[in-house]
Structure 1
Amino acid sequence: MMSSSATPAVEARNITKRYGPTTALDDAGIVIAEGETHALVGRNGAGKSTLVSILTGLQRPDAGEVRFAGRQAPPVADRDGWRRNVACVYQKSTIIPTLTVAENLFLNRQSARGPINWRTLRARAHEVLEQYGVAVDAGRLAGDLNVEQRQLLEIARALSFGARFIILDEPTAQLDGPAIERLFDRMRSLREQGVTMMFISHHLEEVYRVCQSVTVFRDARHVLTSAVDDLPHDELVAAMTGEAAAGYQARARAADAGAPAVLSAEKLTLAGRYQDVDLTVRAGEIVGVAGSGSSGKVSLAETLVGLLAADSGTVTVNGARPRPGDVASALRAGLGFVPKDRHKEGFVPLLSIAENATLPIAHKLGRLGAVSPARRRAKAERMIEDLTIKTTGPSQPVGDLSGGNAQKVVMARALADDPRALVVIDPTAGVDVRAKQALLGAVEDAAERGAAAVLVSDELDDLRICDRVVVMFHGRIVKEVPRGWADAELVAVMEGVDAR
């Protein structure tokens, strides 16, 4: 643990938390100095989420204590007391989309007494937004905000309670490059104002850019706390994994230029998203699609799978033309899909691993409309083994899994029917090194079996497995880069340097 003569802003010492036979935290903890940005890193299942739930008062530890500025943390029932000490901006937004920005900002505290004065509420909201540099209209519906704006709104809401300690849980997972830079600038500004932050990320380069200290958890225990400047990258990865580890190593492969086309788009246009896109992916080929958040890459992928319908152009999957805007039609044509937002579109949290993973093939697991539990369980057990899903068994609800293991279930579902074409969007967002290896390996396995794969991502490690990468900029494909590209070359095109 770090030591300091000054009273730490946050202390969690000797924390133990058990769930039945499972130990989620084993005598672990963290100490964060006032005004610093402190990273918490570790593989999925290391205990990070459990610590967050204890630091925010959602759960009481079985042993150990939490202190804020030297004072004992409030009782769990004292929610206002916790809000005055700590707030968390989660990877999954807690903003209510059907309410306005002002209503979200002052939820459950709209008025001290009597009816709500909406003009006063909007004026108060405008003052808070202006104070923390959030450039959105207080009267705007929160559902119309983009991811970046929602995150800034959550930060402003947290600070408006008086909290000076904020936990940022994977805040960059759904942001593009420019938005990440703006977030980091905002974090530096908040730190200059004396705000203390705990930053959780699987992208280690981000830790070195914005954090002063880092704590590593592994297997429910505290492993290491160090100043970031004193900890080389390879030692940090070794602390997380228990061994020296490098980035994902793509397999040596060469796509067959003469293989049949399996997935293609011809002259696809969707107003405001992309225009005149042509793309052909052959059997056994992995094609990456890269670009900024406004490039249209995600909209293109969602059109290929039927989540969106193009205004013009055609999509062909395995020789068939699925009905535009019809996911079921694309699945019947032989397409598998991993969506961008696993929480919203990837799985049903209360259903089991077996139920989630076999949803596309339920009709094949029994007769006369009835699913055989034994066949479903057997299929799920093979999926769990193939993707090394860390679980108590096929009947465990997916909502109880760590982020990386939940994403593996989403991948398992996409591969359940041995698809001829595969479209995956940001498959490794918010997952650790080992989960990334399993997920990217699954895409490579599918290609080796002859599937045509489209991989949409900004992560350079993800794109290294691709036979070629097409880069989109402002809705158009501006360049195709063959395997073996240099980081600077690809990033320059993604950020629009070549396009200009």
Structure 2
Amino acid sequence: MPDPIFEARNISKRFGPVRALNEVSIAIGAGELHSIIGENGAGKSTLMNIFCGRLRPDTGALLIDRQPVHFSSPKQAAAAGIAIAPQEINLVPALSVAENIMLGAQIGARICGGAVIDWKATRAEAIRHLHEVDDQIDPASRVGDLSKAQQQLVQIARAAATDARILILDEPTATLTHRETARLFDYIRSFKARGHSIFYISHRLDEVKALSDRITVLRDGALAGTLDPATATREEMVTLMAGRPPSAMRQEPRRIPGDAPVVLKVTGLTRPGEFQDLSFSLRKGEILGVSGLIGSGRTEMAKCLFGLTRATAGEIEYFGQKTRFTSPLQAIQAGLIYLPEERKQEGIFPLLSIVENAAMPSMARFRGLLAMRNREMLAEVMDYIALLKTRIGSPRDAITTLSGGNQQKVIIARWLMRDAKVLIMDEPTRGIDVNAKFEIQAVLRRLTEERGLSIILISSEMEEVLDVADRILVMHEGRARGIVDAAGESQESLLKLAMT
């Protein structure tokens, strides 16, 4: 590696009794993309927040061009040339795309001896940065009207607008389409070609290997190893991250008996502009994977089954009865539950505790004559926490103290307490590390086998549906391209089916 332009030496950080980082040293050179990978809770976000001034280390030092630096705010880090595009959207919904990109960095002008914002120049600069990242987004659009993927791209453009020498990208492709991802990768290459550097965090190991100049693995807050992407294998990366090989975590293929009762049957379901003529069935104890590229109509189909939207044609049979849920409340009362892909925005109550999040839809069951039966509620929640092998501190802690994988388990516990019969899970492991992903997959298998739960699992990761599903519905542009047994299929065969 050439002389580093940025170094972190022996960085340690604690939050109370929890050791988040322990003597971590890392460096980056000019024009380098250095990927940081690890499980949720490995210390990646804590380290990046120290780099960009959001946190201060307990011990250790940061150096730029071999000179010590101390950041007490993101503004100081930005002034030193370090900017972050975080995984969580941090934009102002009511402002335009251009206003968000240049917020706090507007170009000034002097008129009649006074300082004002030169909006024409500011807008032109915003458009320049936006088009470097993606030229399909209208700079005049209100950010709140954009898709999550578009908001993520605007956030990256906003970080780039600081003229950073070092850009931190945290899960930048989690919500992007293939086109948007390819455009972002072009931007990353041009950013590096200008001599700038990138710390890249992602759970998508294939893109980590393709983009990186170096890969550093964190585990339990410590440095687990550094890999050369030219020679590293996915198995090596997973083993360093999880402390065990992926072969020890995978599920064995299985087949659901053909005479298992059908719990959900969909025939010719159509909603113009979203999906059309969808037909499939779901059996008791089965996991039906739904595969397809972003925009294939998978989420729209799930929302229609749950009663959030209405189909214009087709039939739905639920446990042998023709049914058309007209609201989510009807679906929930019948035991059909939808877990949305936007877990943090739509799945959890961030200001409430773990126990409150789990028990929220079941509160009426614990209402006493004069007060809530809190002990009974806590006991039942803890039974499900144990069943799902959820790692928590105190059940009274805020749910935001948990990793993404453990938050997802609490959401599953919530609906098991409501006697869920069918779970529709939309991208259930997005943003979750590989070990937590396998844990959730194992939980889903166990629930189908021990409780007879039936699951529709929607995922843009073909490897995931192959790992956990019994059968796979392949969708493309709103149509079903086929239903196949997961055993014996490959990512290549699924993609070929989707594109035919």
Q: CA deviation at 1:16?
A: 0.9
* CA deviations over 1:399-423 (Å, ceiling 9, x no partner): 1222222222222223332311111
Matched, 1:467 2:470: yes
Q: Any idea what SS the aligned residue of 2:247 has? A: coil
| 1: CA distance, partners of 2:267 / 2:195 | 53
Q: Which runs of 5+ in 1 are unaligned?
A: none
TM-score in terms of structure 2 length: 0.91
Q: Which runs of 5+ in 2 are unaligned?
A: 110-114
**Residues 54 and 74 of structure 2 are in contact (CA less than 8 Å); yes or no, is this contact kept in structure 1?**
no
Please list, as runs of the form range in 1=range in 2, the aligned pairs for 1:134-153 lying within 5 A after superposition.
134-153=135-154
Q: Any idea what SS the aligned residue of 1:184 has? A: helix
Q: Any idea what SS the aligned residue of 1:107 has? A: coil
Distance 1:14 1:470, change over 3 A: same
Q: CA deviation at 1:435?
A: 1.1
2:167 alignment counterpart? 166
For structure 1, which segment, 255-264 or 100-109, has the greater mean C-alpha deviation from structure 2 after superposition? 255-264
| 2: CA distance, partners of 1:269 / 1:23 | 52
1:91 alignment counterpart? 87
Distance 1:259 1:212, change over 3 A: same
Aligned residue type for 2:327: D
Task: Give the root-mean-square deviation of aligned CA atoms.
Answer: 2.4
| 1: CA distance, partners of 2:422 / 2:388 | 19
| 2: CA distance, partners of 1:124 / 1:249 | 49
Please list, as runs of the form range in 1=range in 2, the aligned pairs for 1:395-434 lying within 5 A after superposition.
395-434=396-435
Matched, 1:51 2:47: yes
Aligned residue type for 1:486: S
Give the alignment partner of residue 493 of structure 2, picking from 489, 493, 496: 489
**Residues 134 and 152 of structure 1 are in contact (CA less than 8 Å); yes or no, is this contact kept in structure 2?**
no
Q: CA deviation at 1:247?
A: 7.6
For structure 1, which segment, 181-190 or 23-32, has the greater mean C-alpha deviation from structure 2 after superposition? 181-190
Q: CA deviation at 1:343?
A: 0.9
**Residues 237 and 244 of structure 1 are in contact (CA less than 8 Å); yes or no, is this contact kept in structure 2?**
yes
1:220 alignment counterpart? 221
| 1: CA distance, partners of 2:321 / 2:117 | 56
**Residues 44 and 431 of structure 1 are in contact (CA less than 8 Å); yes or no, is this contact kept in structure 2?**
yes
**Residues 96 and 143 of structure 2 are in contact (CA less than 8 Å); yes or no, is this contact kept in structure 1?**
yes
Distance 1:319 1:201, change over 3 A: same
* CA deviations over 1:185-223 (Å, ceiling 9, x no partner): 332232222221111112222221111101111111112
Matched, 1:106 2:102: yes
Q: CA deviation at 1:430?
A: 1.4
| 1: CA distance, partners of 2:151 / 2:369 | 47
| 2: CA distance, partners of 1:75 / 1:354 | 37
Please list, as runs of the form range in 1=range in 2, the aligned pairs for 1:25-44 lying within 5 A after superposition.
25-44=21-40
| 2: CA distance, partners of 1:145 / 1:7 | 41
1:355 alignment counterpart? 356
Matched, 1:71 2:67: yes
| 1: CA distance, partners of 2:245 / 2:64 | 35
Give the alignment partner of residue 477 of structure 1, picking from 468, 477, 480: 480
Matched, 1:262 2:263: yes
1:451 alignment counterpart? 453
| 2: CA distance, partners of 1:81 / 1:237 | 32
| 2: CA distance, partners of 1:197 / 1:73 | 19
| 2: CA distance, partners of 1:252 / 1:137 | 46
Aligned residue type for 2:494: L
Q: Any idea what SS the aligned residue of 1:225 has? A: strand
1:297 alignment counterpart? 298
Distance 1:279 1:230, change over 3 A: closer
Distance 1:206 1:128, change over 3 A: closer
**Residues 173 and 430 of structure 1 are in contact (CA less than 8 Å); yes or no, is this contact kept in structure 2?**
yes
**Residues 132 and 187 of structure 2 are in contact (CA less than 8 Å); yes or no, is this contact kept in structure 1?**
no
| 1: CA distance, partners of 2:232 / 2:354 | 38
Q: Any idea what SS the aligned residue of 1:9 has? A: strand
Q: CA deviation at 1:9?
A: 2.7
Give the alignment partner of residue 14 of structure 2, picking from 11, 18, 24: 18
Q: Any idea what SS the aligned residue of 2:329 has? A: helix
Aligned residue type for 1:206: E
Q: Any idea what SS the aligned residue of 1:79 has? A: helix
* CA deviations over 1:10-37 (Å, ceiling 9, x no partner): 2111111111111111111321222111
| 2: CA distance, partners of 1:192 / 1:247 | 40
Q: CA deviation at 1:173?
A: 1.9
| 1: CA distance, partners of 2:289 / 2:192 | 37
Distance 1:81 1:334, change over 3 A: closer
Q: Any idea what SS the aligned residue of 1:399 has? A: helix
Q: CA deviation at 1:58?
A: 0.4
| 2: CA distance, partners of 1:67 / 1:264 | 61
**Residues 302 and 338 of structure 2 are in contact (CA less than 8 Å); yes or no, is this contact kept in structure 1?**
no
TM-score in terms of structure 1 length: 0.91
* CA deviations over 1:247-270 (Å, ceiling 9, x no partner): 852244321322332123333222
**Residues 274 and 296 of structure 1 are in contact (CA less than 8 Å); yes or no, is this contact kept in structure 2?**
yes
Q: CA deviation at 1:290?
A: 0.9
| 2: CA distance, partners of 1:132 / 1:285 | 42
| 1: CA distance, partners of 2:280 / 2:316 | 9
| 1: CA distance, partners of 2:191 / 2:389 | 40
For structure 1, which segment, 314-323 or 350-359, has the greater mean C-alpha deviation from structure 2 after superposition? 314-323
**Residues 256 and 284 of structure 1 are in contact (CA less than 8 Å); yes or no, is this contact kept in structure 2?**
no
For structure 1, which segment, 70-79 or 166-175, has the greater mean C-alpha deviation from structure 2 after superposition? 70-79
**Residues 38 and 241 of structure 2 are in contact (CA less than 8 Å); yes or no, is this contact kept in structure 1?**
yes
| 2: CA distance, partners of 1:284 / 1:393 | 32
**Residues 39 and 434 of structure 2 are in contact (CA less than 8 Å); yes or no, is this contact kept in structure 1?**
yes
| 2: CA distance, partners of 1:148 / 1:185 | 17
For structure 1, which segment, 33-42 or 253-262, has the greater mean C-alpha deviation from structure 2 after superposition? 253-262
Please list, as runs of the form range in 1=range in 2, the aligned pairs for 1:304-453 lying within 5 A after superposition.
304-318=305-319, 324=325, 326-368=327-369, 370-448=371-449, 449-453=451-455
| 2: CA distance, partners of 1:460 / 1:472 | 12
Aligned residue type for 2:229: V
Distance 1:66 1:310, change over 3 A: farther
| 2: CA distance, partners of 1:220 / 1:388 | 22
Distance 1:118 1:288, change over 3 A: same
Q: Any idea what SS the aligned residue of 2:48 has? A: helix
Aligned length, in residue pairs = 492
For structure 1, which segment, 467-476 or 252-261, has the greater mean C-alpha deviation from structure 2 after superposition? 252-261
